[in-house]
């Protein structure tokens, strides 16, 4: 093949390949355009615009009396589109940018007017479509900002973009903060009521269309969300804001005084199980305490002497002892351990006296001696009372109670039973212990505490809650009566007398002092104690039950001395503010029980006085002045019209009203005495002339 033919062949081959490639490109373009066009168009749209979730406003949490405990307020992040329709013209922008800078500087006070104006100009030079102006702006400030230069051109034209975010606030700040809780993405179930009822409070998110601009930033397409979010439901809690404030104040004061590590207070309404106050404080530094952990529902520890209530209840139910049974106090030796009364022996006393004085040796002996041959009979009582079970609280975090039985590997047949008798070798929370005492106050009906009583949406109830009954009757009425008497005796005759007793109303309760095991060295380390007092009031008609637990107080550590004053202060204040707990005050009627003696006189003043005192006299007419008529129906006011040239009737009037009427009649008046008019020298209705003298007598 010659050179020319070879070159032509190569040219034709190259040209053919180019044509084939071009055909392939056109075929592919056709496929993309016509066959796959919808797919790629949708993908393009998804890359330039997308929907994002708009957070719903969380529902409010209210106290029992309607006070707002937690709410959401709108907070805005302000952005600016520097080339929005109304400010696209450089002349419009440059004329007002300095004024806008001045207004922003005056409102936020974080930059000077010149700095703001320079910042806005640089943003325009950079063609910013989503320039950050300020974060965390309140709604009131936003309304003001919308009136600023440039921004007041129009809702969309001025370039202002307000991105709403919801901020959760607690109007009472630290009050009941741990019970209210919080929603946290890092905590699976949240904390407190916020976490437990997140499904209700959270509401339903909306949708907002966002457009992608240069730099990969998304900005809202429209001012409002395309799908409006649905606000969350409101929670009506059982917390009483005044009792909560009182509980926190009294607890914090005592923690500081005793330099304790932490403490808790719970106030519960006896009949309903509604928690009125729950306070938890932990030491963060010397003299400073904060709510960091909910000891009330999660603080599992040996309850100590407050558990003796359950021990004596079992003994009485099984008729092993009676309140008059005699028992020795002081020391009780068991294999490997000597159980001692820290206050020393008070001799051989009745069971009632041993309970009132909180003798460890006495209750350990009675339980060990009574149940030694059938130890599970004692623990069966505890299980029948469900002390080993969670109560199924409405808020998360409830600790699992630990109550041993002889089947447990750690059960020691010589030591466990007598030590359980006075509150050791078990783990119970303060709320668990309080609920058991509340059952005694509630005539044996054991109910689970509740923190929420109602859920509302748009003001309408959608769900209501009542306390779950754990045990309809924890013991016989006979045992219950004896236990109540023993609890009252603790305050009137026993370990709580000096601190808790109040002569104005009855308190029933029990002191408790327990040695707390050290995390590393157990009971052999530095001795730490838990001081508690639990009970109810008024004892003769219980309305509230309460527990106070204080851990590791320095100095005095007995329950009566450390926790007793807190219980007494809170109970006194609650009793003083609740008229329903007072005994009925007899009504005493002294003297005339009808309407009080009244002067005749000016009608409006008289009616005002009678209305203020709640009296309902009969008014015969609507004249300016009245005279009084005493009738069997009470006080009747009769019309007293002035007539020119006629002597008015001033009988029964005070001097001021009498002088007014006589002066209007043109008479010269001379008055003697004080009080109200009893006589006048000219009879009423007599024709008189101007300047005539008249004598009136008052008494």
- Check whether 636 has a pLDDT greater than 60: no
pLDDT given at position 637: 44
What are the angstrom distances between the C-alpha of 157 and each of 89, 137, 272, 542?
11, 21, 58, 67
What are the angstrom distances between the C-alpha of 486 and each of 326, 336, 564?
15, 31, 17
356 falls in which pLDDT band (50, 70, 90)? very high
Query: What is 381-428 written as a DSSP string?
Result: HHHHTTTTS----SSS-PPPPEE--TTSTT--TTTHHHHHHTT-SEEB
Q: Report d(CA 305, CA 434) in Å as an integer.
A: 13
Which token pair is 580?
Answer: 């329903």
Q: Which of 159-168, 637-646, 655-664, 683-692 has the lowest mean pLDDT?
A: 637-646
pLDDT given at position 643: 66
- Check whether 46 has a pLDDT greater than 60: no
Share of the chain above pLDDT 90, in %: 48
182 burial via Cβ count (<10 Å: 0-12, 13-18, 19+)? middle
Pairing mode, strands 68-80 and 234-237: unpaired
- Check whether 87 has a pLDDT greater than 70: yes
Q: Report d(CA 61, CA 57) in Å as an integer.
A: 13
- Contact between 77 and 165 under an 8 Å Cβ cutoff? The reply is yes
pLDDT given at position 198: 86
Which among 639, 642, 641, 661 has a CA at the least distance from the CA of 650? 661
| More confident call, 359 vs 524 | 359
157 burial via Cβ count (<10 Å: 0-12, 13-18, 19+)? middle
310 falls in which pLDDT band (50, 70, 90)? very high
- State how far Cα 184 lies from the chain centre: 20
Q: Report d(CA 279, CA 266) in Å as an integer.
A: 7
498 burial via Cβ count (<10 Å: 0-12, 13-18, 19+)? exposed
pLDDT given at position 168: 87
Q: Report d(CA 495, CA 490) in Å as an integer.
A: 6
CB count within 10 Å of CB 249 equals 16
530 burial via Cβ count (<10 Å: 0-12, 13-18, 19+)? buried
- Contact between 163 and 79 under an 8 Å Cβ cutoff? The reply is yes
CB within 8 A of 80, min separation 6: which ones?
A: 120, 123, 128, 130, 131, 133, 159, 160, 161
Determine the length of the chain. 699
Please provide residue 206's backbone torsions phi and psi, each rounded to the nearest 5 degrees.
Answer: -100, -170
Q: Average pLDDT, whole number, for the chain?
A: 85
Beta bridge partners of 602: 625
Q: Report d(CA 240, CA 194) in Å as an integer.
A: 18
The pLDDT tens digits of the residues spanning 566-589 come to: 999 999 999 988 877 776 545 454
| More confident call, 470 vs 221 | 470
Side-chain-side CA neighbours of 78 within 13 Å: the count stands at: 19
pLDDT given at position 132: 92
Which among 581, 584, 606 has a CA at the least distance from the CA of 596? 606
Q: Residues 507-531: what's their mean pLDDT?
A: 77
- Contact between 379 and 406 under an 8 Å Cβ cutoff? The reply is yes
- Check whether 366 has a pLDDT greater than 50: yes
Which token pair is 190?
Answer: 């949240």
Please provide residue 229's backbone torsions phi and psi, each rounded to the nearest 5 degrees.
Answer: -70, 155
The radius of gyration of the chain's CA atoms, rounded to the nearest angstrom, is 42
CB count within 10 Å of CB 146 equals 13
Q: Could you give the 3-state DSSP secondary structure of residue 172?
A: coil
First to last CA, the chain: 157
The pLDDT tens digits of the residues spanning 223-278 come to: 666 777 788 899 999 999 999 999 999 999 999 999 999 999 999 999 999 999 99
Which token pair is 497?
Answer: 């007398």
Residue with tokens 């002088």: 659
What is the torsional sign of CA 62, 394, 311, 345?
negative
Query: What is 334-392 written as a DSSP string?
Result: ETTEEEE-TT----EEEHHHHHHTT-HHHHHHHHHHHHTT-HHHHHHHHHHTTTTS---
Q: Which of 248-252, 315-319, 695-699 has the lowest mean pLDDT?
A: 695-699
CB within 8 A of 464, min separation 6: which ones?
A: 453, 454, 455
Q: Report d(CA 261, CA 271) in Å as an integer.
A: 33
pLDDT given at position 611: 65
Of these ranges, 64-73, 167-176, 478-487, 508-517, the one predicted with the greatest mean pLDDT is: 478-487
Query: What is 110-152 written as a DSSP string?
Result: SS-HHHHHHHHHHHHHTT-SSEEEEEEEEHHHHHHHTTSTTTT
- Check whether 692 has a pLDDT greater than 80: no
Q: Report d(CA 367, CA 317) in Å as an integer.
A: 13
Q: Residues 674-686: what's their mean pLDDT?
A: 81
Beta bridge partners of 494: none
Q: Report d(CA 160, CA 129) in Å as an integer.
A: 10
Side-chain-side CA neighbours of 686 within 13 Å: the count stands at: 13
- The edge-to-edge listing of strands for the beta sheet with 677-680 is 668-673, 693-698, 677-680
- Contact between 499 and 507 under an 8 Å Cβ cutoff? The reply is no
What are the angstrom distances between the C-alpha of 533 and each of 449, 590, 643?
19, 46, 79
pLDDT given at position 631: 44
**Could you give all domains of the chain from N- to C-terminal order, each with its CATH number?**
52-237 (3.90.1310.10), 243-580 (3.40.710.10), 601-698 (3.30.10.20)
Which token pair is 150?
Answer: 């440039």
Q: Report d(CA 402, CA 404) in Å as an integer.
A: 6
């Amino acid at each position: 093949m010659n050179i020319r033919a070879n070159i032509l062949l190569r040219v034709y081959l190259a040209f053919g390949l180019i044509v084939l490639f071009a055909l392939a490109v056109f075929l592919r373009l056709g496929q993309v355009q016509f066959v796959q066009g919808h797919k790629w168009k949708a993908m393009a749209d998804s890359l330039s615009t997308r929907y994002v979730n708009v957070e719903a406003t969380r529902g409010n949490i209210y106290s029992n009396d309607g006070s707002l405990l937690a709410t959401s307020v709108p907070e805005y992040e302000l952005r600016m589109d520097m080339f929005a329709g109304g400010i696209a013209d450089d002349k419009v922008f440059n004329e007002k940018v300095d004024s806008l800078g001045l207004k922003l500087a005056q409102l936020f006070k974080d930059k000077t007017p010149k700095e703001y104006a320079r910042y806005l100009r640089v943003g325009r030079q950079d063609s910013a479509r989503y320039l950050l102006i300020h974060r965390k702006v309140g709604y009131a400030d936003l309304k003001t900002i919308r009136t600023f230069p440039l921004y007041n051109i129009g809702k969309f034209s001025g370039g202002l973009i307000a991105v709403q975010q919801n901020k959760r606030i607690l109007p009472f700040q630290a009050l009941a903060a741990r019970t209210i809780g919080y929603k946290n993405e890092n905590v699976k179930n949240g904390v407190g009521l916020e976490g437990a009822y997140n499904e209700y409070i959270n509401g339903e998110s909306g949708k907002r269309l966002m457009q992608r601009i240069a730099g990969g930033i998304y900005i809202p397409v429209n001012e409002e969300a395309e799908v409006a979010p649905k606000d969350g439901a409101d929670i009506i809690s059982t917390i009483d804001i005044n009792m909560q404030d009182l509980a926190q104040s009294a607890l914090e004061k005592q923690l500081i005084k005793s330099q304790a590590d932490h403490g808790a207070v719970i106030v519960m309404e006896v009949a309903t199980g509604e928690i009125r106050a729950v306070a938890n404080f932990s030491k963060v530094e010397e003299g400073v305490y904060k709510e960091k952990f909910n000891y009330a529902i999660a603080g599992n520890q040996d309850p100590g002497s407050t558990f003796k209530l359950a021990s004596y209840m079992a003994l009485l139910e099984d008729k092993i002892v009676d309140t008059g049974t005699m028992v020795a106090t002081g020391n009780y030796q068991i294999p490997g351990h000597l159980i001692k009364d820290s206050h020393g022996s008070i001799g051989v006393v009745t069971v009632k006296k041993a309970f009132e004085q909180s003798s460890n040796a006495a209750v350990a002996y009675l339980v060990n001696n009574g149940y030694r041959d059938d130890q599970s009979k004692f623990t069966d009582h505890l299980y029948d009372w469900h002390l080993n079970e969670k109560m199924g609280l409405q808020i998360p975090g409830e600790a699992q109670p630990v109550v041993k039985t002889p089947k447990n590997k750690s059960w020691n047949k010589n030591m466990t039973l007598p030590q359980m008798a006075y509150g050791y070798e078990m783990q119970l929370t303060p709320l668990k212990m309080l609920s058991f005492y509340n059952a005694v106050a509630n005539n044996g009906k054991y109910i689970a505490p509740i923190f929420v009583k109602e859920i509302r949406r748009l003001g309408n109830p959608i769900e209501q809650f009542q306390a779950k009954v754990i045990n309809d009757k924890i013991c016989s009425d006979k045992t219950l009566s004896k236990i109540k008497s023993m609890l009252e005796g603790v305050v009137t005759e026993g370990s709580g007398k000096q601190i808790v007793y109040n002569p104005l109303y009855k308190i029933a309760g029990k002191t408790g002092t327990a040695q707390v095991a050290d995390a590393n060295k157990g009971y052999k380390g530095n001795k730490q104690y838990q001081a508690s007092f639990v009970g109810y009031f008024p004892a003769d008609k219980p309305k509230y039950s309460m527990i106070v637990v204080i851990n590791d107080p320095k100095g005095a550590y007995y329950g009566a001395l450390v926790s007793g004053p807190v219980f007494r202060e809170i109970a006194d204040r609650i009793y003083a503010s609740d008229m329903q707990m007072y005994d009925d005050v007899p009504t005493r009627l002294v003297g005339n029980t009808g309407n009080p003696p009244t002067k005749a006189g000016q009608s409006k003043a008289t009616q005002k006085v009678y209305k203020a005192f709640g009296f309902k006299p009969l008014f015969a007419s609507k004249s300016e002045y009245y005279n009084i008529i005493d009738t069997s129906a009470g006080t009747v006011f009769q019309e007293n019209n002035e007539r020119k040239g006629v002597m008015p009737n001033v009988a029964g009037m005070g001097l001021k009203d009498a002088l007014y009427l006589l002066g209007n009649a043109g008479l010269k008046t001379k008055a003697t005495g004080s009080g109200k008019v009893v006589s006048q020298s000219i009879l009423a209705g007599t024709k008189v002339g101007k300047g005539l003298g008249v004598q009136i007598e008052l008494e």
